[in-house]
């Protein structure tokens, strides 16, 4: 046992009346849980295995105090852990009372040379929830009078997380994935989550905060061993492992936050490393949103504090890397130095460089360049110079805000962006490919204005005309430079960009608002359709939100291209279109 004090152990009992609402066949085959040729079919034997393995509820402290009677047939012999980790919203703020508030770790599964962590959310109220820490009492699982402390997960949240995580995964974003969703008659669910490692920086930072060198070293060594065993890191010695951990943290968190900023993903990142995996992957989809526009002023209101915004996520990730630098030094030397001593650590310089570099790569990709072209352009100073000149005008439109100013929304505050730069990235190369000409200023504005632009936001002022002309001039300059560097005729290059950017910057792209309504529609559909029919439309919708041309090229090679014709799918995509500009 790497960290004997790192968890609270709970006995469990069977939770009855569950049914398998969703099962990720592709993930199960990838993990080795199912044979490679297993069809996408939920057989009675497979459904029974899923329920027998995961339909569990902990016997918590409240149950023990109130002498809960559990039928012998329902009592399980194994116990499961709720892990401890740092959470800033807890009164103690050192990891002594915080961690998995409604989840258990089912364990790990190893096959085909890779190990996966498996956990379940919605399995009961633990003593590590914020409610227990704040009110200093234990709660009955299912108590609806206490937010989050009741230990349940709502079915719509579980299905939304399954949808969004699979969409993100197929779009190349590092994330935990949902293996199964078990639904219950009271509209709650158990959500089974999987990743090669489910450790968060917060698991480590709690021991760092407490200056507990033994537990910190034990967990850090465990994390390094997992990464080496999974062939994620090529490490030969333990001390080089600590260096690898810090280097990978700098690179992973730079890439993750660059991606969040460029793709408008709100993750509510903070320095405690709670809402993020140790490899920069997304976890806990309750606070995850994908915006349609760059609504960088949006903040979530969590009762006693406001969240970070998208732009601030970079600074918070940098702070995480600084804390890992402190951690690595402490583990190696046994002497804990103050975090301020690591303000100029080389890992932070690496983070800054990688953040800028990866943002450039993502921008080139969004413009429509393929990965091979991006690799060449990223090595050429002339291309980078032209890209940076273009990016300055790109951000002018991306970050323009409504004259309305900030205002409250149901879960926080926001200040609307007014331009959809994805639309102009999609439409401009098509216009050039068709006519060889730029948009007129009024045409450009018609393309790029969003539904959030009202009144004076829509005016074509002389200043705005100048910015529009300069944007297109710099876009053309980038095309000209890229054409020369890549040795591709400019007409042919523009045609390629037009084809790729049409998918990459697709009009009906999922947002946080949209996933809420789409999930409701999917649950409505499930009331009168079979598991197989619900699964089919689930996967069709996920595929409809993949914005990577490479993904579909690979799918055509592997299984052929499937046409989408479901009327219900079209209704779901209509919802996405309706909410495409939102949060």
**Total domain count for the chain?**
4
Query: Do 215 and 143 share a structural domain?
Result: no
**Is 362 among the domain residues?**
no
**Is 1 among the domain residues?**
no
In sequence order, the 6+-apart residues with CB closer than 8 A to the CB of 376 are 485, 486
Query: Do 43 and 188 share a structural domain?
Result: yes
**Is 363 among the domain residues?**
no
Distance (Å) of CA 47 to CA 22, 42, 50, 108, 570? 10, 6, 5, 20, 29
Query: Rounded to the nearest 5°, which phi and psi values hold at 564?
Result: -105, 125
Query: Do 151 and 16 share a structural domain?
Result: yes
pLDDT at 328: 97
pLDDT at 561: 43
How far, in Å, CA of 323 to CA of 206, rounded?
11
Per-position DSSP letters for 405-429, written without gaps between them = --EEETTEEE--B-B-HHHHHHHHH
Last residue of a domain, one of 167, 195, 223: 195
Per-position DSSP letters for 150-184, written without gaps between them = T--EEHHHHHHHHHHHHHHHHTT--B-EEEEEEE-
pLDDT at 311: 95
**Is 229 among the domain residues?**
yes
Query: Do 551 and 468 share a structural domain?
Result: no
Strands of 412-414's sheet in order across: 299-300, 412-414, 407-409
Query: Do 237 and 119 share a structural domain?
Result: no
**Is 360 among the domain residues?**
no
* Structural domain boundaries, residue 53: 7-195
Residue 419 forms beta bridges with which residues? 449
pLDDT at 560: 45
Distance (Å) of CA 450 to CA 122, 392, 414, 498, 580? 38, 20, 16, 21, 9
**Are 199 and 130 spatial neighbours (Cβ–Cβ below 8 Å)?**
no
pLDDT at 271: 86
pLDDT at 156: 96
Last residue of a domain, one of 355, 388, 413: 355
**Is 157 among the domain residues?**
yes
pLDDT at 234: 82
Query: Do 252 and 277 share a structural domain?
Result: yes
Query: Do 140 and 31 share a structural domain?
Result: yes
Last residue of a domain, one of 469, 504, 539: 504
Quote the pTM value: 0.94
Query: Do 409 and 532 share a structural domain?
Result: no
**Is 40 among the domain residues?**
yes
Query: Do 410 and 536 share a structural domain?
Result: no
Over its length of 583 residues, how does the chain's per-residue pLDDT go in tens digits?
678 899 999 999 999 999 999 999 999 999 999 999 999 999 999 999 999 999 999 999 999 999 999 999 999 999 999 999 999 888 888 899 999 999 999 999 999 999 999 999 999 999 999 889 889 999 999 998 886 678 999 999 999 999 999 999 999 999 999 999 999 999 999 999 999 999 999 999 999 999 999 999 999 999 999 999 999 988 766 668 899 999 999 999 999 999 999 999 999 888 898 989 999 999 999 889 999 999 999 998 876 778 999 999 999 999 999 999 999 999 999 999 999 999 999 999 999 999 999 999 999 999 999 999 999 999 999 999 999 999 999 999 999 999 999 999 888 999 999 999 999 999 999 999 999 999 999 999 999 999 999 999 999 999 999 999 999 999 999 999 999 999 999 999 999 999 999 999 999 999 999 999 999 999 999 999 999 999 999 999 999 999 999 988 776 545 444 444 578 899 999 999 999 999 9
Per-position DSSP letters for 74-136, written without gaps between them = TEEEEEEEEEB---TTSTT-SSSS-B-SSEEEEEEEEETTEEEEEEEESS---TTSHHHHHHT
Query: Do 535 and 498 share a structural domain?
Result: no
The encoded tokens of residue 575 equal: 């919802």
**Is 238 among the domain residues?**
yes
Query: Do 296 and 329 share a structural domain?
Result: yes
How far, in Å, CA of 178 to CA of 28, rounded?
10
In this structure, the number of other CB atoms found within 10 A of the CB of residue 465 comes to 15
Alpha-carbon torsion, ordered 247, 250, 256, 261, to 10 deg: -160
The encoded tokens of residue 442 equal: 């009024």
Query: Do 451 and 536 share a structural domain?
Result: no
């Amino acid at each position: 046992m790497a960290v004997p004090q790192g968890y609270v152990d709970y006995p469990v009992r069977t939770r009855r009346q569950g049914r398998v609402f969703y099962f990720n066949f592709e993930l199960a085959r990838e993990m080795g849980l199912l044979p490679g040729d297993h069809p996408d079919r939920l057989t009675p034997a497979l459904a029974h295995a899923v329920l027998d393995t995961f339909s569990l509820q902990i016997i918590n402290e409240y149950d023990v105090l109130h002498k809960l009677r559990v039928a012998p047939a329902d009592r399980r012999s194994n116990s499961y852990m709720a892990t401890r980790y740092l959470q800033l919203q807890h009164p103690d703020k050192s990891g002594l009372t915080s961690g998995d508030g409604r989840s258990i770790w089912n364990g790990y599964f190893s096959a085909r040379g890779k190990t996966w962590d498996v956990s379940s959310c919605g399995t009961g109220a633990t003593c590590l929830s914020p409610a227990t820490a704040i009110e200093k009492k234990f709660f009955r699982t299912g108590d609806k009078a206490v937010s989050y402390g009741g230990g349940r997960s709502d079915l719509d949240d579980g299905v939304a997380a399954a949808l969004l995580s699979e969409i993100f995964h197929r779009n190349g974003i590092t994330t935990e994935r949902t293996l199964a969703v078990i639904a219950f008659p009271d509209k709650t669910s158990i959500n089974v989550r999987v990743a090669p490692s489910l450790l968060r920086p917060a698991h480590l930072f709690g021991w760092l905060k407490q200056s507990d060198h033994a537990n910190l070293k034990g967990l850090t060594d465990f994390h390094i061993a997992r990464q080496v065993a999974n062939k994620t890191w090529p490490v030969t010695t333990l001390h080089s492992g600590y260096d690898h951990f810090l280097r990978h943290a700098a690179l992973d968190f730079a890439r993750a936050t660059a991606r969040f900023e460029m793709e408008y993903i709100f993750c509510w990142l903070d320095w405690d490393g709670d809402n993020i995996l140790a490899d920069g992957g997304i976890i806990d989809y309750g606070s995850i949103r994908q915006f349609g526009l760059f609504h960088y002023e949006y903040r979530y209101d969590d009762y006693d504090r406001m969240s970070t915004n998208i732009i601030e996520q970079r600074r918070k990730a940098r702070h995480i890397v600084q804390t890992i630098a402190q951690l690595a030094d402490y583990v190696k030397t046994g002497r804990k130095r103050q975090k301020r001593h690591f303000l100029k650590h080389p890992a932070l310089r690496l983070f800054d460089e990688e953040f800028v570099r990866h943002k450039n790569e993502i921008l080139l990709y969004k413009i429509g360049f393929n990965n091979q072209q991006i690799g060449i352009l990223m090595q050429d100073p002339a291309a980078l110079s032209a890209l940076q000149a273009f990016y300055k005008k790109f951000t002018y439109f991306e970050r323009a805000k409504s004259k309305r100013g900030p205002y409250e929304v149901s879960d926080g505050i926001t200040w609307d962006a007014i331009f959809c730069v994805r639309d102009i990235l999609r439409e401009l190369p098509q216009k050039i490919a068709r006519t060889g000409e730029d948009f007129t200023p009024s045409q450009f504005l018609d393309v790029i204005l969003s539904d959030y632009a009202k009144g004076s936001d829509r005016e074509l002022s002389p200043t705005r005309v100048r910015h529009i002309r300069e944007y297109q001039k710099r876009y053309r300059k980038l095309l000209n430079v890229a054409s020369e560097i890549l040795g591709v005729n400019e007409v042919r290059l523009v045609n390629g960009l037009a084809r790729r950017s049409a998918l990459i910057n697709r009009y009906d792209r999922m947002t946080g608002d949209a996933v809420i309504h789409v999930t409701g529609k999917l649950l409505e559909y499930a009331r009168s359709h079979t598991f197989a029919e619900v699964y089919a439309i689930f996967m069709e919708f996920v595929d409809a939100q993949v914005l990577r041309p490479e993904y579909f090229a690979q799918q055509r090679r592997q299984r052929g291209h499937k046409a989408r014709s479901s009327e219900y799918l079209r209704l779901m995509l209509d919802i996405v279109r309706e909410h495409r500009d939102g949060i």
